[in-house]
A and B are shown apart, each in its own frame.
Chain A
Amino acid sequence: MAIEDDVLVVGGGLAGATAALAAARTGVRVRLVSYKKSTLRQASGLVDVLGYAPDGTGPLVDPFEAIDALPSTHPYRLAGTDALGRGLALFDEVAGDAYRGDHTDANALVPTTGGAVKPTARYPATVEPGLASDDRDALLVGFDGTTDFDAPLAAAHLGRAGVPFDVRGATVTFPGVAAADATATRFAQVLDADEGGARAVLADRVRTHLDGERRVGLPAVLGETDPEGVRGALEEALGVAVFEIPTGPPSVPGVRLEALFSAALSAAGVRVETGNPVVDFEGAGDRIDRAFVDRSGSAVPYRADQYVLATGGLVGGGIDSDREGVVEPVFDCHVPHPTDRYDWFEDDAFGDHAFARFGVVVDETMRPLDRRGHPEWANLRAAGAVVGGADAAAEKSASGISLATGYRAGRLAASGVGAGELTRTECGHTR
């Protein structure tokens, strides 16, 4: 029997998962195919919306206020603030008690491993006691066998940033892990299972450094499956608040967030397939008729009424390039880019890079447009980092863009099911 669904979502990151959930909750039949493990595993686990304006102004206290001032080609302007609000509400529901930040529109400033602060709209509950606007004195504690977090250095840097509390750093040996190159994931597993009483031993080692501070920050390794259990045990033993500082890849909070979305997709009845790429498709008229998924060398047809492209940007593989140009490799959608490769970047490492904005151009219904400004396909929408037009890294807006465009693409795909050409009447949206 042929594989046939109402909506086929290609890509399993935050945008793809959001689109699939938004569609499935309207009652349509949704399938999600994802080639690689989600890039959520590499991200910090913070869910940012907008930290800085495109001109660098910031950190912004209220990200929602600033959205109307963004250029009209920005994904937020195309998806609309309503879609952003609904995407965030969907996120809050999926994340439940594991995340905080929905009590206010204001951004939170979360300390980084380097001792800077990052503005973000949602953050894991394990991160909450560490926020930089909380004026309790803090002790940061790092591990001597790790290299990406030097707690005394991060504390010195936070101090120079002028945070409204005193902060010191200390280094301890993580209990029960002999290997010199243990990853964050390994530390997390030890704490989850409380191997050799690791929680109590770690608390003892931290306690010797406490000097009146009312909160203690550790790198984000406090358990993959039971972070609140681990954190609770440490807080009880130490008698002070304990928080996590998000790290680079591999990211334990990223792994936890992936698990939350995976459970939500399953509960919503989305059929999820991982490990096989979409390699080809066939169009009929102005519609995509079917996509082909490579399964062990055979191209298997997947047919759907509506399609959502959520394959990620340059990192996720949704946008690809060679010396000649930049392409969207799955449905071959148009990706505008300067013809001279030397115009793709600026000379400063943190310059205003064109490549950071590479992606497909979409209309207000999230349909990718061809070079003449017409929809590539009537039943194809795009969401997340595959959509261009914003330097999400500089703005700190990657997660919010995924939620807003994912929600809108998913909902419009669902409402387009069975409507054929009529989808064009669905274009209106509120701002």
Chain B
Amino acid sequence: MASRTDVLVVGGGSTGTGIARDLAMRGVDVTLVERGTLTSGTTGRMHGLLHSGARYAVSDGKSASECIAENRILREIASHCVEMTGGLFVKRPSDSETYFERKLRRCRECGIPAEPLSGAEARRMEPYLAADVDRAIRVPDGAVDPFRLCVANAADARERGARIVTHAEVVDLTVDGGDVVGATVRHRGGPGASRAAGTTEEIHAEHVVNATGAWAGQLGEMAGVDVAVRPSKGVMTIMNVRQVDTVINWCRPKGDADIVVPHETTAILGTTDEEVSDPDDYPEAQREVDLLIDELSKLLPILAEARTIRSFWGVRPLYEPPSVGSEDPTDITRDFSLLDHAERDGVTGLTTIVGGKLTTYRLMAEHLADHVCDQLGVRSRCRTDEVPLPGSEDDAVLDEYMAEFGLRSPVARRSAQRLGSRTSDVLGTDEPNPVVCECEAVTRAELRDAIDEVGADLNAVRIRTRASMGNCQGGLCCHRMANELHPASDDATVRGALSELYEERWKGQRHALWGEHLSQAMLNHLLHATTMNRDHDPVPDSRDGRTDSAAVAWSAFDGGTDGD
């Protein structure tokens, strides 16, 4: 099997999907390949902070200025993915006064609105702040949903003619006399995949873009170029309720465990910064979770006793030219780098983009698309800073949708937030529309809309709808979500998709298994094992190696007293 495209983008994170959209808007034929689901690398594993730039104002003015500019653009083009919570940089008596003053001054020099507050003023905004917080700076930080953002970019790219292929891994780059001319892709199958597992495809391309982030070194090797990406892991812990409505940053030079980001109904604690050798295989340690809670409890004492629902790790794609040689990963720049391998290594047809942050994904895509269009001789202008992403155009009329559909307000409001301008299409149904995921208030209509889009991949459905991402972590709704796949998918497919989702939900909870969440995990175990007997289902799961149903000696069991 072979196919042809102008530009092959490798990587389905925010950068890759942003590039695909940008190029597609410029009329370039694009194919994007991603080895997992969209966002399954670093994009889906971050704390969801929309930077104001204040975080970098002292250490890295260029990044800070880029952040505030992109922050303003994303509020316009992706309003349905962004919640402008505002942010606070808070200081305790033991933190440096000099650093606080410098942060305030540098924010203003970078064009970031920054307003100093007293401790009492900050506590009026966020009552759970510790009593000893004595000063704060208010900045325009926000929360961004990386899943919706990435999906909106990919959906728009596809609307404009791009081909988006998930569950497809590049196993080799095709190099012809020092020129990269395409790649060999192996389709990995799995629920929702576009081609059968195990099939390979040759994709010929005029230009290949390496947007694989922390994995950029591995792809570079396939073309014989050295990309010294320095993957750095960070842990994040999700709390069961939203203890703060404002992003809380610790105002100190640098350090682990210094941020809390409110996100939908939860709050996410972050993070750490530790270099790892392999972005696919690194230790996830209990002490990292403990560190987050112990440190951040100093800013928000309520966190010490609060319930966590899961923890997860992400790997930053940090990059610096090897000549810099930073020892500590926290010293590595958060700016991005575009590596022109023709100029740098004498290998044409390949460009790598590494570093950067979710907040600046659009700017990174713009730089990369400018470069590739230059290579291909395409003359066009970037318009991603002015054309809204699908779903965001009608933000102002969400209230009307609520009234129009007469749904209970919290459900309708949250559905409308997730669906943006598509609310009317999706919720305008005469069929019964029960809530399937009660924690996140996701209705049947929304799930079926997502299933229409991605097929029988419940993890992809989860990412689009947030179903199974609340307090119960899917214990009460995984099987209900699976039911919605039928009859479009058969029983075997439904069973496989359910197992994948349940296992995925379990993996993140393992780092939060104490207190109320351990009780929740036991309740989930009882429901799925005791009540539903899913751990001893006589029908095999496609993943457990069995193909035949377990032989049950039906007649040996009690058949009741009233049968015949």
Contact = CB atoms under 8 A, between A and B. Distances in A.
B553 interface: yes
B514 A321 contact: yes
B536 A51 contact: yes
Interface string A344-368: 1101111001011000000000000
A429 to B, nearest CB: 28
B327 interface: no
B434, B506, B535, B557 interface centre (most CB from chain A within 10 Å): B557
Interface in A330-350: 340-342, 344-345, 347-350
A161 interface: yes
B554 A392 contact: no
Contacts of A246: 531
Interface string B544-555: 000001011111
A248 B531 contact: yes
A146 B88 CA distance: 44
A162 B538 contact: yes
B530 A150 contact: no
Given A157-B491, A161-B552, A249-B527, A61 B557 contact: yes
A147 B536 contact: no
B479 interface: yes
B564 to A, nearest CB: 7
A152 B494 CA distance: 12
Interface stretch (B2-10, B177-185, B396-404, B480-488): B480-488
A180 B434 contact: yes
B362 interface: no
B222 interface: no
Given A116-B534, A350-B534, A145 B434 contact: yes
A112 B531 contact: yes
Contact of A100 (B479, B535, B560): B560
Nearest to A114: B532
Size class of the B contact interface (CB-based, 8 Å): 35 or more
Contact of A56 (B434, B523, B536): B536
Interface string B328-368: 00000000000000000000000000000000000000000
A389 B562 CA distance: 38
Contact of B510 (A146, A248, A345, A356): A345
B432 interface: yes
B557 A348 contact: no
Contacts of A116: 532-534, 536-539
B444 interface: yes
Contacts of B491: 115, 153, 156-157, 160
B534 A321 contact: no
B556 interface: yes
Interface stretch (A82-90, A129-137, A223-231, A292-300): A129-137
A153 B531 contact: no
A314 B522 contact: yes
A150 B480 CA distance: 9
B515 A157 contact: no
Nearest to B486: A153
Label chain A's interface by main secondary structure: loop
Interface in A34-64: 42-44, 48, 51-52, 56, 58-59, 61
B495 interface: yes
B160 interface: no
A345 B554 CA distance: 34
A204 interface: no
Contact of A314 (B436, B494, B519, B533): B519
Contact of A356 (B290, B486, B522): B522
Contact of B518 (A149, A157, A321): A321
A162 to B, nearest CB: 5
A130 to B, nearest CB: 9
Interface string B435-461: 110000000100000000000000000
B519 A323 contact: no
B471 to A, nearest CB: 14
Contacts of A112: 531-533
B532 A59 contact: no
Given A153-B483, A156-B490, A345-B510, A350 B529 contact: yes
A113 interface: yes
A264 interface: no
Nearest to A157: B491
Given A58-B536, A348-B503, A128 B562 contact: yes
B544 to A, nearest CB: 10
B525 A356 contact: yes
Contact of B559 (A131, A146, A157, A345): A131
Nearest to A325: B514
A427 interface: no
Given A117-B538, A315-B526, A148 B479 contact: yes
B105 interface: no
A146 B484 CA distance: 11
Contacts of A52: 536
B265 interface: no
Interface string A151-169: 0110011001111100000
B293, B525, B534 interface centre (most CB from chain A within 10 Å): B525
Given A150-B483, A153-B494, A323-B290, A161 B538 contact: yes
Contacts of A131: 557-560, 563
Nearest to B559: A133
A101 interface: yes
A393 B486 CA distance: 28
Interface string A103-119: 11011110011111111
A132 B513 CA distance: 37
8 contacts: A43-B530, A106-B558, A118-B531, A131-B558, A133-B555, A342-B286, A344-B513, A355-B513
Given A103-B561, A320-B519, 10 more contacts: A115-B491, A116-B533, A147-B436, A150-B483, A313-B522, A317-B519, A340-B286, A345-B521, A348-B506, A356-B525
